[in-house]
Chains A and B, each alone.
Chain A
Amino acid sequence: NAGVTQTPKFRVLKTGQSMTLLCAQDMNHEYMYWYRQDPGMGLRLIHYSVGEGTTAKGEVPDGYNVSRLKKQNFLLGLESAAPSQTSVYFCASRTGQGRTEAFFGQGTRLTVV
């Protein structure tokens, strides 16, 4: 039972490089989310999706893009990485039934130098 799987787990980028973080869930969940976690800032929502083919902005969307082409996958892209995007990124998913709990991946630690 994999749950929510994030790829990669660690990555170091140079300023200006691009990359894509992949989130995959095998629970047939409708809703998926990308958060970033920074010391003293807690968890902040970047983007989310309420179903295949949909995306919406969260609290801190600037500098990121997302896509949900398949229900089980939610991709987070950084087109031109900046040091301010150094963070730990978490993907989460949940069912579309009421206000239930979200299930989280193990995180991706990204460093932009």
Chain B
Amino acid sequence: GDSVTQMEGPVTLSEEAFLTINCTYTATGYPSLFWYVQYPGEGLQLLLKATKADDKGSNKGFEATYRKETTSFHLEKGSVQVSDSAVYFCALPSHTGGFKTIFGAGTRLFVKA
């Protein structure tokens, strides 16, 4: 079945450091891929998405490229800020169950000033 595996956290970085959060997936067909972000005490917001192979999604300085050959969708940011502290979820829409969203376990990021 469809699944998402992402690196476990927490990840602690200093401000302006480079961020990578790894995500790999197993899926039937070629679904869109998503990164969601959850700030403390809030709901999930779509951070970025890619709809087909080799697409690059980007938003707020974050980027992720849909790699079909490695079944990966790693999240990167060149220079993190304290305000980026949050939990990040890699996700894809399942082909069953009403196209429910399949989430990775989430990676908590702490950015120190």
Tell me if A58 is interfacial: C-beta within 8 Å of chain B.
yes
Residue pair B31, A99 in contact (C-beta under 8 Å): yes
Tell me, in angstroms, the Cα distance from A104 to B100 when the chains sit together: 12
How many inter-chain contacts with C-beta < 8 Å in the A-B complex? 58
Residue pair B32, A100 in contact (C-beta under 8 Å): yes
Q: A interface, by DSSP: helix, strand, loop or mixed?
A: strand
Tell me if B34 is interfacial: C-beta within 8 Å of chain A.
yes
- For window 39-67 of B, CB contacts with A under 8 Å fall at 42-46, 49
Give the distance to chain B from A112, nearest Cβ to Cβ, in Å: 20
Tell me if B13 is interfacial: C-beta within 8 Å of chain A.
no
Interface residues in A, total, Cβ within 8 A: 23
Tell me, in angstroms, the Cα distance from A100 to B91 when the chains sit together: 11
Q: Given A99-B93, A99-B95, A107-B43 in contact, is the A42-B101 Cβ separation under 8 Å?
A: no
- For window 78-113 of A, CB contacts with B under 8 Å fall at 90, 92, 94, 98-107
Interface residues as binary, A23-40 with B (CB distance below 8 Å gives 1, 0 otherwise): 000000001010000000
- Residues of B that sit less than 8 Å from A by CB: 29, 31-32, 34, 36, 42-46, 49, 89, 92-95, 97-101, 103-106
- Residues of A that sit less than 8 Å from B by CB: 31, 33, 42-43, 45, 48-50, 56, 58, 90, 92, 94, 98-107
